[in-house]
Structure 1
Amino acid sequence: MVETLFQAYSPLLFWVGMGLLVLRILPDKLPRILARSLYWVGVPWQIFALARYTDLSGGVGLVPVITVSTLSFGILLAWLTSSLLNRVALVSPVEATGVMVTESVLPKVDGASAVEIAVSESASGLSDAATNPTRWQKLRQIWPNYNRNQQGSFILAGMLGNTGFVGLGLLPDLISAENMRWAVFFSLTQNLIGTYTLGVMVASHFGGTTPQSRWWALVRNVILVPSLWAFCLGYFTRAWPTPAWADVLAQGWYYWVIPASFLLMGMRLGQMQGWKSIQRAVPPVLLKLLLLPVFVAVGTTFLGFTGEPRLALVMMSGMPCAFAGLILAEEYELDRDLAASTIALSTFGLLVMIPIWLVVLA
C-alpha cells in the first residue's frame, strides 16, 4: 500500500508544491488566467472525453442515484449541523448551567404589589459560570457559529467535493482502469447536478443577491456552463467515427488538465487569506471527509456493491471541498474566508483519510 500511496500522492504533492513556489515569482494575474483556462477549456475538454470514451454500462446507472442521494444528504446534514451549532451558541450562561431565573408577582400587600425574583437552581447547583460568566464567555468565543452567508459556505463545503481534479487525478493510481467508470460517472453527475444546479441554488438562497435575480442567475449559470455543453456533445457523439489523431488528442486531457489543476491548487492555497476561519471550517470538513463517505459506504454495501466499485464511490464522496465552493462564494457574496479555509483543511485531511479507506474497504 505504501507504494500505491506514493504513486498517488507524488503528482499531487509535486504540482501543489510547484504552485506554492512559482506563485512568488510569477505575475499575480496568472492564477486567474489559469483558472479561467481550466473553466472554459480544461474542464470541458476533460468532461467531453470522459462522456465520449468512458464505458457507462455494467450497472453504473445507479451512480447518479447514489450521487444525488449523497448530495442531498450532505445538504441536509450541513444545514442541520450549522443550525444546531448556532442554537447552542445562543444559549446564555444561566441556561447552560441549569440556573433558571423566574419572576413571580406576589399578592398585593397593603394595596401595593410586590415583585419577587425567585432563583431556582437545578440539581447540579449553581456553577461558576453563572456567578462568574467569564468561562462561558470564553467558551462562546471559540464555539463555532455562523451567520447567513457563512451558513451558505458551510453547506457548500459539506456537499461539494473536488471530484474532477483531485478525484480523477488520484484514483487512477488506486483502482483499476476498468473500474474508473464508477468514479467518472460520480464526478460527471456531481459537476452537472451538484455544483451547477444544487450548488447554485444553495448559494443564491444564502447569498447576498436580491430575490429578483436569484432564479434568473440560476437559469443563466446552468445554461452557460461550458462543461454542460461539453458533456452533451461528448455523450451524443459517441457513435460518430473520428480519426485516430482526434481520439488521441481528446483523450490527452489527463496529461495537461490534472497537472494544471494541481498547480492552480497550490497557487490558490498560497493566496488564501481564510486561515483565520479554520476554527469554523472544522465542522463542515469533518462532515465532508468522514460522515459522507460513511453514508456512501453503508448505502453501497446495502445495495450489494463490493470491491473497487464501492471503494471508488466512497473515495469520490470523500474528496476535499471543491474550489467551486469558493467560486460560488465570490459570485453570490457568501463567506469567502470560510470557503477558503474548508478547502485548505480538507485538502490536507484527505492525505490522512485515503489510507484509512484503503484499509477498510480494499
Structure 2
Amino acid sequence: MLTTLFQVYLPLLGWTLLGFVLQKRLPTGWKRWLDPHVLGRFMFWVGVPLGTIGFIQKADLSGQIWVAPLVCWLATGLGFALANAWLRWQHHAWQGKNERDPWLWSRARRGSFYLAATLGNSGYLGYPICLAVAGSAYFGWALFYDLLGTLFTAYGLGVWVASRHSPSRPRPRQTAIRLLSSPTLWAFFVGLALARQPLPGWLSQGLVAFAWSTIPLSLIILGMRLAQVKHWGSFFPAAVALLIKIVIVPLLVGLGLTLTPYPPLAKLVLTLQAGMPPAIATLVLTEEYDLDRELTVTALAVGYLAALFTLPLWLGLWGS
C-alpha cells in the first residue's frame, strides 16, 4: 500500500511544486506568458477538449463498464444535494448577521463550494490510482467513470453552476448558451465519432500523448495558484466541502455497491473514483467564470493531502 501511494503522489506533488516555484521565482517578463489565468483558459478551450478526444481513442466501449457513468452521476447528485443542504442550513443559522460577517457567502464563494463538493479528480488523479490498485484489466471502469460521468458533470452541471454563480449574474438564456457551447462537451461527441473509424497511427498516438501531457500542466497551474494565495481564510468551508466529497459520498457509494453483482475490483475502482478530491476542472471553471479562487485552491491543496489518509481507508474496507 505504501508503494502504491509513493508511486501516485510523487509526480503529483512534484509537478505542483514546480508550478509553485515557477510562480515565486520566475522573472517578471516571463510571467506574462506563464500566467496561471492564461494557462487556465488554454486548458478550458484547448487542453481539456483535445485531451478528451485522445482518451476516447483508447476506450473500450463494451461490457458492464457502462454502469460506471451512472455511478458517477449518482455520486455527483448526492454531493450536490448534501452541499445544497449544508448551505441552506448555514444561511438560516446566520440569517440576520452583519453583512460583513465571513459566514455570509458571496455568489462566487457558493459556486466554488458547490464545485469542490461535487466534482472529483477522476482523471488526473483517479487514472493513476486506479491503474496502480486494480491493474489495466479494470482501467476501463475508471475511464468510463471519468469520460462519460465526470466529463458531463464537470463541463455540463459544472458549467451551469459556475455560470449561475458568476459575479456577472448572467441571464438564464446566457447560461444555456454557455452550457451548450462548452468545448469539452462537443469534443466528447467528436471523439465518439472518430472512435468508430481508425485514425492514422501518428495522429492517434499524438492525441493520446497530448491527453496525458495535460495532467502535469494542470498540476503546474495548481502550484502557481497556490503560490498566489496570501492567506488561508477559506479553510473551514473547504474542509466542509471535502468532508462531503472524499468521505461521505464515497462511503455511501461503496456501501451501495456491496449490494451489486459487479466484480470486487470494479466496485473498488468506482468507490475510489467517487472519493477523489476536487477536480482540476474546478480550478479551470473558477478561472473562466471568476469564482472564489481562494476557496477553490484551498480545497484542491487540502484535498490532495487528505486523500493520503482516505485512500488507505477505502483499500482497507473494499480492497480485499
Distance 2:211 2:4 in 1: 19
Deviates more, 1:53-62 or 1:161-170: 161-170
Helix, strand or coil: the match of 1:152? helix
Distance 1:206 1:40 in 2: 20
Classify 1:18/1:272 alpha carbon distance in 2 versus 1 (closer, same or farther; 3 Å).
same
- How far did 1:331 drift? 4.7
Asked if 1:28 corresponds to 2:31, the answer is yes
Match of 1:312 among 237, 260, 269: 269
Distance 2:204 2:90 in 1: 51
The aligned runs of 1:227-246 (5 Å cut-off) are 227-246=184-203
- How far did 1:230 drift? 2.2
Distance 1:162 1:274 in 2: 24
**Is the CA contact 1:277–1:338 (under 8 Å) kept in the aligned structure 2?**
yes
Distance 2:200 2:106 in 1: 55
- How far did 1:270 drift? 1.8
Asked if 1:352 corresponds to 2:318, the answer is no
- How far did 1:333 drift? 5.1
Asked if 1:167 corresponds to 2:172, the answer is no
**Is the CA contact 1:156–1:199 (under 8 Å) kept in the aligned structure 2?**
yes
Classify 1:152/1:222 alpha carbon distance in 2 versus 1 (closer, same or farther; 3 Å).
closer
**Is the CA contact 2:70–2:149 (under 8 Å) kept in the aligned structure 1?**
no
CA offsets, 1:120-155, max 9 Å, x none? Answer: xxxxxxxxxxxxxxxxxxxxx89x564554333222
- How far did 1:158 drift? 0.9
- How far did 1:345 drift? 1.9
Classify 1:19/1:300 alpha carbon distance in 2 versus 1 (closer, same or farther; 3 Å).
same
Q: Which residue number in structure 1 is paired with residue 208 of structure 2? A: 251
Q: How many residues align?
A: 312
Helix, strand or coil: the match of 1:53? coil
**Is the CA contact 2:138–2:265 (under 8 Å) kept in the aligned structure 1?**
yes
Helix, strand or coil: the match of 2:125? helix
Q: Which residue number in structure 1 is paired with residue 82 of structure 2? A: 77
Give RMSD over aligned pairs.
Answer: 2.7
Distance 1:243 1:152 in 2: 42
Deviates more, 1:173-182 or 1:272-281: 272-281
Distance 1:215 1:312 in 2: 38
Structure 2 gaps of 5+ residues are none
Tell me which amino acid in the other structure corresponds to 1:361: W
Match of 1:63 among 57, 64, 68: 68
Asked if 1:299 corresponds to 2:299, the answer is no
Tell me which amino acid in the other structure corresponds to 1:250: L
- How far did 1:79 drift? 0.6
Q: Which residue number in structure 2 is paired with residue 264 of structure 1? A: 221
Compare relative contact order (CA 8 Å, sep 6+) and give the higher one, 1 or 2.
2
- How far did 1:9 drift? 1.4
CA offsets, 1:36-56, max 9 Å, x none? Answer: 333333322321122232112
Distance 2:50 2:107 in 1: 36
- How far did 1:172 drift? 2.6
Classify 1:155/1:86 alpha carbon distance in 2 versus 1 (closer, same or farther; 3 Å).
same
TM-score by length of 1: 0.77
Structure 1 gaps of 5+ residues are 93-140
Q: Percent identity?
A: 32
Helix, strand or coil: the match of 2:25? coil
Classify 1:255/1:208 alpha carbon distance in 2 versus 1 (closer, same or farther; 3 Å).
closer
Helix, strand or coil: the match of 1:165? coil
Rg larger in 1 or in 2?
1
Asked if 1:153 corresponds to 2:123, the answer is no
The aligned runs of 1:1-362 (5 Å cut-off) are 1-26=1-26, 27-29=30-32, 30=34, 31-90=36-95, 146-210=105-169, 213-219=171-177, 221-253=178-210, 255-273=212-230, 275-332=232-289, 334-362=291-319
TM-score by length of 2: 0.86
Tell me which amino acid in the other structure corresponds to 2:119: L
- How far did 1:303 drift? 2.4
Classify 1:226/1:13 alpha carbon distance in 2 versus 1 (closer, same or farther; 3 Å).
same
Tell me which amino acid in the other structure corresponds to 1:356: L
Tell me which amino acid in the other structure corresponds to 1:82: L
Helix, strand or coil: the match of 1:164? coil
Tell me which amino acid in the other structure corresponds to 1:358: L
Tell me which amino acid in the other structure corresponds to 2:260: L
